[in-house]
């Protein structure tokens, strides 16, 4: 029976406005939540367990403030919740983050790791494939469906359409939205999550080679031209040719 892990990350609510103060994003008044694609990863991990048995452990890397999303995952039905952290870490670069995750995954004896295709803050999508490489495992990214057996058969968009790909375990698999509807936590799940213990783990992080210099707001766009009525669409098409040069 597989030991399943799912990596989740806390990010600002995707409906929130973002502002920058003193060269850094100001998140003091923004609600934090589990990154939306990670919710699909939790659902996929739970379905894997329901098909094959075993257990699901949700893992996040972060300070004590990130425990809420672990409780949210617990309320959805994961068995164990783990927070990996050391107060000396500060901002980990991808090399650091993947190194500490590798140590945690090895310590937990995991067979398959799920994660969201990218986190809604950086949008990078580096962690899944990077972790797989460090572990020497197979990976598949941006999957939109999965069937569970000795290997996981994933559906994944490729150049020509959608491919069904056999991914042998151990593996790291990143999830897009796809066809699965994530379950909602029920009252019993929420009550159990309240009482659940977060297991703390630590690891050794290599020093960073990439450091955040600053955050900034994107340059504002100059005001555009506005036209009234559907017939003005012909003028706009002409401007797209003459002024914008894109048609």
Sheet architecture: strand order including 3-7:
138-143, 171-175, 112-116, 3-7, 55-61, 80-84, 199-201
Q: In the bound complex, what is the minimum distance in angstroms from residue 86's beta carbon to another protein?
A: 18
Q: In the bound complex, what is the minimum distance in angstroms from residue 87's beta carbon to another protein?
A: 21
Q: In the bound complex, what is the minimum distance in angstroms from residue 113's beta carbon to another protein?
A: 14
The candidate with the shortest Cα–Cα distance to 42, out of 182, 143, 221, is 182
- Report the residue number, 45 or 171, with the smaller CB distance to another protein: 171
Return the residues of window 19-78 that contact another protein according to CB under 8 A.
20, 25, 36-37
Is 90 an interacting residue with respect to another protein (CB under 8 A)?
no
8 Å CB contact between 39 and 7: no
Residue 113 DSSP SS3: strand
- Report the residue number, 90 or 157, with the smaller CB distance to another protein: 157
Is 227 an interacting residue with respect to another protein (CB under 8 A)?
yes
For helices 67-76 and 187-195, give the axis angle rounded to 10 degrees. 140
Return the residues of window 102-121 that contact another protein according to CB under 8 A.
120-121
- Report the residue number, 79 or 147, with the smaller CB distance to another protein: 147
Q: In the bound complex, what is the minimum distance in angstroms from residue 29's beta carbon to another protein?
A: 15
- CB-based burial, 216-234: b 16+ in 10 Å, e otherwise: eeeeeeeeeeeeeeeeeee
Per the structure block, which two tokens stand in for 117?
């295709």
Return the residues of window 179-218 that contact another protein according to CB under 8 A.
206, 208-218
Q: In the bound complex, what is the minimum distance in angstroms from residue 234's beta carbon to another protein?
A: 4
């Amino acid at each position: 029976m597989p030991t399943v892990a799912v990596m989740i990350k806390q990010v600002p609510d995707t409906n929130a406005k973002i502002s920058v103060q003193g060269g850094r994003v100001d998140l003091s008044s923004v609600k934090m939540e589990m990154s939306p694609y990670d919710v699909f990863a939790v659902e996929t991990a739970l379905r894997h367990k329901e098909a094959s048995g075993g257990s699901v452990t949700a893992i996040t890397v972060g300070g004590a403030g990130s425990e809420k999303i672990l409780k949210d995952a617990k309320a959805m039905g994961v068995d164990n919740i783990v927070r990996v952290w050391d107060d000396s870490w500060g901002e980990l670069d991808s090399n650091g983050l993947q190194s500490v995750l590798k140590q945690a995954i090895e310590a937990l004896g995991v067979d398959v790791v799920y994660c969201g295709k990218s986190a809604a803050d950086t949008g990078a999508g580096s962690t899944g494939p990077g972790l797989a490489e460090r572990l020497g495992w197979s990976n598949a990214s941006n999957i939109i469906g999965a069937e569970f057996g000795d290997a996981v058969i994933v559906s994944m968009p490729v150049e020509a359409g959608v491919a069904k790909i056999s991914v042998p375990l151990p593996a790291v698999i990143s999830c897009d939205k796809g066809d699965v509807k994530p379950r909602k936590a029920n009252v019993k799940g929420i009550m159990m999550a309240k009482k659940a213990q977060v297991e703390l783990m630590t690891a050794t992080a290599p020093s960073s080679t990439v450091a955040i210099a600053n955050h900034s707001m994107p340059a504002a766009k100059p005001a555009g031209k506005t036209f009234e009525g559907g017939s003005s669409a012909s003028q706009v098409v002409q401007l797209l040719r003459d002024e914008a040069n894109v048609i």
